Amino acid sequence: MKIERQSSLERASACEPGDRDRHPAARSISSSVFVGNGTVAVRCAQLAMEMGHVIGAALCGDTIFADWATRAKIPCVGSVEELSSFLQAEPVDWIFSVANPFILPPDVFGQARQGAFNYHDGPLPRYAGTHATSWALLAQETEYAITWHRIDDGVDTGDVVVQLQVLIAPADTALTLNLKCYEAAIEGFRELLTGLAKGELTAYPQALVSRSYFPRRRRPDAAGCLRWDRSAHDLPAMTRALDFGPYHPNPLCLPKALVGDEVVTVRRLEVLPQRSGLPAGSLLEIHSSHWRVATGTQDVDVCFGSSDGQALDARALARHSNLDEGGRLPILSDDEARGITAAHELLAPSEDFWRQRLEQLRILQFPFLSSCVAEAPPKRQSSSWFMASALAKLSPNDRTEYLVTAWLIYLARITGETELQLGWTPESDQSQAGLKAVEVLIASVVPMEVTIDLAHDFEDVRKAVAAECAQLSEHASFARDLIARCPTLRGVEALRSHQPWPIGITITTDSCSVAGDLTTSQSAGSAPCGDLLTFEVCTQDGSFRWHFDASRLAPEQIDRMTQHLQTLLYGVTADAGQPVRDLDILPAAERAYLLEDLNRTAADYPWDLCIHELFEQQVRQAPEAVAVVCDDERLSYGELNARANRLAHHLIALGVKPDQPVAICLERSPAMVVGVLAILKAGGAYLPLDPAYPCARLRQVLADAAPRLLLCDAAGRAALGAEALADVSVVDLETATPVWAELPASDPEPRALGLTARHLAYIIYTSGSTGTPKGIEMPHGSLMNLLWSSPEFGAPKRRTLHFTTLNFDVSFQELFSCWRDGGLLVLMQEETRADFSELLDFVCREGIERLFLPFVALKHFAEAWCARGTLLPSLREIYTAGEQLRATPELRSFFETHPRARLINQYGPTETHVVTEHRLVADPSCWPQLPPIGRPIANTRIYLLDAHGAPVPVGAVGELYVGGAGVARGYLNRPELTAERFIASPFVEGDRLYRSGDLARYLP
């Protein structure tokens, strides 16, 4: 660690003016190093600087001291070893240890030229060690002191140089006594510095025969469990000694009461003057705020608290515990109390380890949950035992290691998470077996943390798992009240559960049998440690089974997971050297189902026709039928076709060729749809520009696509500006006497133009919300498949609203799904589109039968309807897409009132247009909150793949890849990005896949 050092002269000049005047006792500049944490270390260091000390470095035990040292430009070292190196390079006069969490060896404190001192928050030689204030309160001391002493080879054994008395008040708690000691520590340090400066500091040795020492691991009697048969005055001493306030961690334990088979935190306890004379632990009175309980002497009133520090309703607690007045609380025997204390002291050294893990709580999202409309109560089940046939030749111990490792690899594969945190059942302490009180006080589930590197082979992962298992064995478990004692953990709701983790692992030594069927009970000693799913492995024979919540996880899914695990293990035994990401987890039948059966969507469609040829077929069938309406203007199919043909011949004369982009920037009008049709008929690809978009965005698209022609009106001209118009040939569709008015009204012949279904129909730019806008090149053939695959093809002609701007691909559906069937397209003004109340009136007035609304618009539409109650008797279909559909109450109400209307949820990125469809059932009460996106449309293949390109199981989340007829050609002028997102299919020869980046799963 590099430390920037200042010379003593530079540091001295950095002191505030007047510091030395305020402290005349500072006769010369002394150098020092501070080791400690908290604000008490900060205050002492500030005082030293004020009195002329130069602080050469600080070893900080927490961020409070470290942040201050950084602001004060004091170099910070990161460890005792770094401090030693610093002192060797730059010796100092003094070392001051203030609330120091580190142990300084002699080769460190011995490097101080003049000496080293430590602050202790107790009256040495009594109460040496840690948590001295709490031990003094437990002993019901009334007088106390803090001590500054020299550091020697022992712990708190050095000569005393300053000791200041602190009086303990009857109501003092650990918090208030610590605050008193805090102030005394500062005053004592001032006295110490003054003595050093004057050369008058005196020291005297401790009377070690009077020494009492409290190691860090020591815990109060019964780990804070109140013993009702003791003196009543012992009980409030316990509660006060363990009260560190709401904002400070409690390093010892919580005062608590055993109530039946549960433990409740005691917030406050008051000794009463009277004595009932009833047996200790008798429940004398139950009030909403407290219980009155008999003890070995006087009666006491006890108030209880929850794990997050809130007061509990004492009456509700009594009802929950089946207690009435006259009942009796458990009385701990001396053996039970000793057992509880011993168990907590055994686990105490590991508390920091567990606290740090719990602070990094991660809840693994398991993918195979059943899709239910409403939550159901838990339904606990256990499977039969299974043998891993692939491991038959291994020893039971090796089988256990293989199974646990394989299960963790499987979890990493199906969740996409490589840093896993799961519940783990710790080994039981046989010395405490049978002590029920110990069982309820010690956590029965602990966090297992392991990183699964999927690039490694099985043996490497197995070693990592074995190392974690060894660490779990070393640290065993933690006191259950640790979570409530730590402010950083107390507010985490998941940690209040006995099973915070949905997935758990249990290793059992119980006798196991592979015989038996699915059961609803668990054997003794194998209680699930995962709230959703527990994987249990038997060390005797290497068998395994599952405990699961059948209300969320179907038994059939358990069977599939068993097959997945068996398949993975066969892969390991066949080739253990391959990266675990490449191990098969899908049996052959499930793989074929996912890759082939679900993608059997082949269907005939006119793959060789261009889009506008469908429109022309309708023209020939019903030329007089109305094709488009806008306010009072109506165009028949024949009229619309003739106008589009004349303009198309003009565009051909201007040089439009297949695949050539032709920009179109017009307001909603018949001229707009004429322009779209004309561009297609001329062989070009229409490039939509919405005049409502910002000018800069429109110019960006023009610059990237570089069209030579632009069809526009006055609104388009104004939106683009003169500068943009100067770089393109403009065809004004608003002109009163168009030059193409006398051109032929006949259909241009596509083949004569060299136009085929492989050429582009449009180039639509993405919104740019995830980066630079990209122009997506969509061929006629891909769009023809979409139009032909709809179940509504050939249905009655629909009056379809043109809601969406041309800039979005759904506008293509609005236009051509309508004209495909000979329907009528209804245009509206932009003002109507922006006001959903007006939109409701418009849909009603115009008799709209088919709507295409992105979900955000559909949501507002339903909300506006709820406010108005307007009936829409003509409406038959609403198609929605664009974002995840949510079945809101307003949406359900709308469709309940319009039973003849159907809601169709579609999905598809712009790069493929629509690729899946789901028609919701007629009864909205049966809709799930998040309706699915359905199944692939005709001639479309959907693959859900993991990060390494392997198919994920049914129910698991994977990235959605699209293959088949609907895939776009690519991105205009972006060959590198096209190659990245449009890839060769590894599953169907000659097919291309679009990598959507969206996550999806097949519902279990």
* One domain, residues 311 and 443: no
* One domain, residues 822 and 883: yes
In angstroms, the CA 624 to CA 620 distance is 10
Identify the CATH number of the domain in which residue 683 sits. 3.40.50.980
The gap between the terminal CA atoms of the chain, to the nearest Å, is 54
pLDDT under 70: residue ranges of the chain: 1-28, 308, 371-374, 428-436, 511-527, 769-770, 791-795
The H or E element containing residue 488 is helix 487-490
> Into how many domains does the chain fold?
6
* One domain, residues 206 and 231: no
* One domain, residues 210 and 235: no
Is the torsion defined by CA of 642, 644, 645, 646 positive or negative?
positive
722 in a structural domain: yes
478-516, pLDDT tens digit by residue?
Answer: 999 999 999 999 989 899 888 899 999 999 987 555 544
* One domain, residues 389 and 420: yes
Q: What is the pTM of this model?
A: 0.85
Long-range contacts of 894-901 (CB under 8 A, 24+ apart): 894/861, 894/862, 894/865, 894/866, 895/924, 896/924, 896/925, 897/871, 898/871, 898/872, 900/873, 900/875, 900/876, 901/872, 901/875, 901/876, 901/877
650 in a structural domain: yes
Q: What is the pLDDT of residue 735?
A: 87
620 in a structural domain: no
Identify the CATH number of the domain in which residue 435 sits. 3.30.559.30
- Sheet of 262-271: strands edge to edge? 256-259, 262-271, 300-305, 291-293, 283-286
* One domain, residues 307 and 196: no
Q: What is the pLDDT of residue 25?
A: 41
Q: Which of 185, 132, 181, 187 is nearest to 155 (CA)?
A: 132
- Contact criterion met (CB below 8 Å) for 284 and 325: yes
Q: Tokens standing for 829?
A: 């003004």
Residue type, 60: C
φ, ψ at 267 (rounded to 5°): -85, -40
In angstroms, the CA 367 to CA 369 distance is 6
Q: Which domain holds residue 912?
A: 790-935
Identify the CATH number of the domain in which residue 129 sits. 3.40.50.170
711 in a structural domain: yes
* One domain, residues 742 and 847: no
CA distances from 215 to 122, 127, 479, 878 (A): 14, 10, 18, 72
526 in a structural domain: yes
- Sheet of 661-665: strands edge to edge? 729-732, 709-712, 661-665, 685-688, 760-765, 775-779, 970-971
* One domain, residues 535 and 386: yes
- Contact criterion met (CB below 8 Å) for 861 and 868: no
350 in a structural domain: no
In angstroms, the CA 836 to CA 872 distance is 14
621 in a structural domain: no
Secondary structure, 3-state, 295-362:
CCCCCEEEEEECCCCCECCHHHHHHHCCCCCCCECCCCCHHHHHHHHHHHHHHHHHHHHHHHHHHCCC
User: What is the number of residues in the chain?
Assistant: 1004
Radius of gyration of the chain (CA): 39
* One domain, residues 813 and 956: no
* One domain, residues 880 and 990: no
* One domain, residues 564 and 698: no
Identify the CATH number of the domain in which residue 966 sits. 2.30.38.10
982-984/386-387 β-pairing: unpaired
Where is the domain boundary, 778, 808, 827?
778
Where is the domain boundary, 160, 183, 214?
214
Where is the domain boundary, 186, 214, 242?
214
632 in a structural domain: no
* One domain, residues 475 and 545: yes
Identify the CATH number of the domain in which residue 328 sits. 3.40.50.12230
In angstroms, the CA 534 to CA 523 distance is 13
Burial class (CB in 10 A: 0-12, 13-18, 19+), 962: buried
- Contact criterion met (CB below 8 Å) for 570 and 393: no
